[in-house]
């Protein structure tokens, strides 16, 4: 208990049976969906197979999962839930680690450098114009949107841990090996 050993084995399409557990590394293949209750569902692509992942609201990491975008590389670990009428087999996440973040770009109207305001469209294929000073620009611009998440390991809050999950303060600490002293008597009968 409290070791996290159940998440050390690699899951793949063949070994992902209901009630099994492990980890899988892949690329987020769709934008996360936030369902009723705040639960987040998304798919990851690993070795040409897509796997559904679920992050539930009580874990406290559902807001982080909702900020993932298509193309982020992550390692996820958890238990496999059997298929239901709404979803195929799904991995109930107990942790996820962001390995690399995809850049997030948005196409927007250009800014007027003089007025520091967004320009307005003059009409289809007519460019853009600042409504304050009249400055013109021919096309939209691409802007990088800063990401709200970082490359790190995300684990649920303690109240949402399973009894098998390794607590955050024990991550990176190896358990001491205990050797059994065979010279000691290990069986006793106590009488009152």
pLDDT of 12 > 60? The answer is yes
Averaged over 29-53, what is the pLDDT? Answer: 93
Q: What is the pTM of this model?
A: 0.75
The confidence score (pLDDT) of residue 180 equals 67
| pLDDT given for residue 64 in this prediction | 93
* Closest residue by Cα to residue 71 from 105, 38, 23: 105
Q: Which two tokens stand for residue 143?
A: 């802007």
Domains of the chain, start order: 5-101+147-169 (2.40.50.1010), 105-144 (no CATH)
CA distances to 46, 51, 62 from 72, rounded to whole Å, are 12, 15, 16
Task: Give the separation between CA 184 and CA 174, rounded to whole angstroms.
Answer: 26
d(CA 5, CA 52): 22
| pLDDT at residue 161 greater than cutoff 70 | no
Q: In Å, what is the CA distance from 54 to each residue of 127, 129, 134? A: 44, 45, 50
Whether the pLDDT of residue 124 is over 90: the answer is: no
pLDDT (tens digit, 9 = 90+) per residue, 45-100? 999 999 999 999 989 889 999 999 999 999 999 889 998 888 789 998 888 999 99
The sign one gets for the Cα dihedral 22, 167, 55, 82 is positive
pLDDT of residue 168: 66
Given a contact cutoff of 8 angstroms between Cβ atoms, the answer to whether 22 and 7 are in contact is yes
Q: Give the pLDDT mean for 133-151.
A: 90
Q: What percent of the chain has pLDDT over 70?
A: 83
Question: What are the helix and strand counts (H, E) for the chain?
Answer: 1, 14
> Which of the 8 DSSP states describes residue 132?
T
- At 167 the pLDDT is 67
Looking at residue 144, what is its pLDDT? 92
**Residue 174 pLDDT > 80:** no
Q: Which two tokens stand for residue 163?
A: 């009894």
Cα 161–Cα 166–Cα 172 angle in degrees, nearest 5:
145
Give exposure, 113-141, as e/b (b: 16+ Cβ within 10 Å).
eeeeeebeeeeeeeebbbeeeeeebeeee
């Amino acid at each position: 208990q409290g070791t996290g050993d159940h998440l050390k084995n690699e899951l793949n399409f063949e070994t992902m049976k209901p009630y099994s557990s492990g980890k899988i590394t892949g690329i987020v293949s769709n934008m996360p969906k936030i369902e009723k209750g705040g639960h987040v569902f998304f798919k990851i692509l690993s070795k040409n197979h897509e796997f559904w992942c679920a992050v539930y609201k009580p874990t406290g990491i559902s807001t982080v999962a909702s900020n993932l975008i298509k193309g982020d590389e992550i390692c996820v670990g958890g238990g496999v839930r059997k298929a239901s009428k709404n979803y195929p087999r799904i991995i109930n996440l107990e942790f996820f680690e962001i390995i690399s973040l995809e850049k997030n770009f948005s196409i927007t109207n250009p800014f007027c450098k003089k007025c520091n305001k967004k320009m307005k469209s003059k009409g289809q294929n007519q460019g853009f114009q600042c409504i304050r000073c009249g400055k013109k620009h021919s096309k939209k611009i691409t802007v990088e949107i800063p990401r709200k998440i970082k490359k790190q390991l995300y684990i649920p809050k303690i109240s949402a841990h399973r009894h098998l999950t390794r607590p955050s303060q024990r991550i990176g600490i190896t358990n001491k090996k205990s050797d059994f002293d065979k010279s000691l008597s290990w069986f006793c009968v106590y009488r009152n």
